[in-house]
Structure 1
């Protein structure tokens, strides 16, 4: 039995969708579309192309999943991280409301996909909770509620006893319940997408990192160390895990991180009172945090920042501080798992959908909303490739400007996260 905190991803350990050993590419192959990246976006693209009978080959540098698609919090959230009026301010009225509408319906797309393909990913459809951690946070939730309700979203602002009952803590005075949303095991969801795409005829290769893309007549040749794929179209779905110099996607985001800790399975009255309806929760803190439970009753705490490389004792101290602040009745909790994933951030907190070159599509900048955004972007890419119509995408295909000073953005964010967490451990910030 595990008795001490170790760096392992809970979702990979508890996924009821079994891993499948997809082969590596060791030859040349022809396809109509080559998808680069085996996360949620790439697999959703491959799945929806396969549904249309379009010959698709997907290349993944690691296993499925190996990036953020299997390491995120597992929140099936609607919309983007910023509220809808801010999206309109950033993108303009037409594009902003399009993003609000498409991404507002994204959780339904996720749950429809789960049901259609029988994906065993422990989904819940009880909504998510946006927690106001102080009075200013409560005012922010009122602003979001009004904006969302003006667009017909089924959201309710809970306060007083109703808030304490649904969250399990007296420290939160207001919580915005969004009934469109829910939770899942992201590793299992990603594996389920791969299984469905494979069963419909998409060809999936793992351990087949792309080393370059070159023009070959009116087609594209995608190169790996031991093989290649020639295709009419290419979809680059590497998002926050874009590292190679050939990949222009890396110029359109800066990397952030998100770490999580999971406890031992918890039971008893004190544990049962925490998120009793199993909503996933995230808060209004300057450095966002999350709280949720898994199917076996574990408590999961997470926050923006990089956990990898930090002492396990430091991470345990942080988790103990947060748990004791919100849920002191639990007493001492044993933390068993910790892991970190990457996030693709953009300065305006909105995504990028673009064509680096004719016949190549790319997406990035999900800003922590990968489960839902990746699912609908994949469907939208497939529809666009098949018909030339980009209306299913949250935004039209464009040519966004590259982000300047990306290393400075990354350093500023990570330094701020680290200082904030240190303040929490010292109980200066709670």
Structure 2
């Protein structure tokens, strides 16, 4: 099995972008650091508006969660609408719900406009009920989403079986707004589009210090500096250095395994409409097919942790439980990534200084929200108008007991997978 830091998506990504390390000082309207969905969307938006832009990435484009996730382009957040309103208020909650309901359309429109080669399939997603209580939760979500105007459909157990090709579920919630992509290729494609629009994209260029001097920000990378009128920090769960602006979140690991490409006979019986899927389990399971017909199945856990044996054993058993015909399929790839989770599961925008914003905390829903937040943060800074932000910026966001909670999640996932791998 490969290094858990090396994902399948790195192997199958065909998108490229010229992104050499920064070798000369620069002065720009907007500096962005972090080359995932948020940062690349912000850079593209600002460059299209005619601003001078410099994007700095410490590793490679999509190195963090943007290049390691499942590839589900979901509408909305993990929370149902009523919970969002309860946490942030009715008016801002409704605004965020409406913005993120349209997020998949924003993503697929960018893919079409820039010809991003990221295996886009917009056939919806299935939220699958793993138990009777899970089905009850889907009934609640269906009612709330329908009231909010979403054309979601609640499926019976038989209908879910027909759509998934698995008899393991009590029902499912179908969301036609959503879809799947090759997630790393989408991030690289956004960076390529930003570069073509005039943005300067530099990888292997970590921001080591950031200071505000004379009305400008000065970002120092190894040997070079960037002066900028405005700054967007888009590092999320892969923040390095700069302790004063480090985002507060609970780091949660999520892993995935991929089979070899399935034969045509096997593919015919599994997800015939190619929806992306996840279930209602507390320790969630996701599964989908990629363009080559690999089954990609994932769950919560750290493959670099002692629990790797439990996680890998669970995958084989879970795969056989969902699809007995895949019980003997070899697993060719296994990888993981970090999720920045907030206590209320709502993304945060923090004001880290004058004309400087940071976003984090997508809690496992980064593709659509990251695209939207990056675009709107850039629009807000260029216009000098905070009302353009998707959620109001806060001066700081705190999370308590992050290490303890991270250990709790990992231990719980490992124990659950260990038990389910044996029985």
TM-based fold match above 0.5: yes
- The alignment partner of 2:368 has SS state of helix
The separation in 2 between residues aligned to 1:173 and 1:106, in whole angstroms, is: 28
Aligned to 1:44: 41
Contact conserved, 2:345 with 2:363, CA < 8 A, in 1? yes
Contact conserved, 1:376 with 1:393, CA < 8 A, in 2? no
Residue 329 of structure 1: which of 312, 322, 325 is its match? 325
Aligned to 1:9: 7
The separation in 2 between residues aligned to 1:202 and 1:253, in whole angstroms, is: 30
Residue 367 of structure 1: which of 363, 379, 387 is its match? 363
Tell me which moved more, 25-34 or 199-208. Answer: 25-34
Aligned to 1:394: 390
Q: 1:245 to 1:50 in 2, by over 3 A?
A: closer
Q: After TM superposition, give the deviation of residue 98 of structure 1 in Å.
A: 1.4
Question: What is the total number of aligned residue pairs between the two structures?
Answer: 422
Alignment of 1:209-220 (within 5 A): 209-220=206-217
Q: After TM superposition, give the deviation of residue 387 of structure 1 in Å.
A: 1.8
The separation in 1 between residues aligned to 2:413 and 2:111, in whole angstroms, is: 34
Aligned to 1:56: 53
Contact conserved, 1:383 with 1:390, CA < 8 A, in 2? no
The separation in 1 between residues aligned to 2:240 and 2:254, in whole angstroms, is: 18
Aligned to 1:177: 174
Residue 67 in structure 1 maps to residue 91 in structure 2 = no
The separation in 2 between residues aligned to 1:341 and 1:258, in whole angstroms, is: 6
The separation in 2 between residues aligned to 1:392 and 1:181, in whole angstroms, is: 25
Residue 336 of structure 2: which of 315, 340, 344 is its match? 340
- The alignment partner of 2:136 has SS state of helix
Residue 31 of structure 2: which of 17, 31, 34 is its match? 34
Contact conserved, 2:17 with 2:189, CA < 8 A, in 1? no
Contact conserved, 1:308 with 1:339, CA < 8 A, in 2? no
Residue 263 of structure 2: which of 260, 267, 277 is its match? 267
Aligned to 1:223: 220
Residue 300 in structure 1 maps to residue 296 in structure 2 = yes
Contact conserved, 2:159 with 2:171, CA < 8 A, in 1? no
- Which runs of 5 or more structure 2 residues have no equivalent in the other structure? none
Residue 118 of structure 1: which of 88, 103, 115 is its match? 115
Contact conserved, 1:107 with 1:372, CA < 8 A, in 2? yes
Residue 237 in structure 1 maps to residue 234 in structure 2 = yes
- The alignment partner of 1:210 has SS state of coil
Runs of 4+ in 1 over 6 A off after TM superposition: none
The separation in 2 between residues aligned to 1:6 and 1:356, in whole angstroms, is: 35
The separation in 2 between residues aligned to 1:312 and 1:420, in whole angstroms, is: 12
The separation in 2 between residues aligned to 1:312 and 1:341, in whole angstroms, is: 14
The separation in 2 between residues aligned to 1:310 and 1:74, in whole angstroms, is: 26
Q: 1:104 to 1:221 in 2, by over 3 A?
A: same
Q: Give TM-score scaled by structure 1 length.
A: 0.95
Q: After TM superposition, give the deviation of residue 392 of structure 1 in Å.
A: 4.9
Alignment of 1:13-162 (within 5 A): 13-17=11-15, 19-162=16-159
Per-residue CA deviations over 1:42-82 (Å, capped at 9, x if unaligned) read 00000000000000001000011211111100000011111
Q: 1:195 to 1:318 in 2, by over 3 A?
A: same
Per-residue CA deviations over 1:289-314 (Å, capped at 9, x if unaligned) read 10000011110100111112458654
Contact conserved, 2:310 with 2:417, CA < 8 A, in 1? no
Contact conserved, 2:236 with 2:359, CA < 8 A, in 1? yes
The separation in 2 between residues aligned to 1:316 and 1:403, in whole angstroms, is: 31
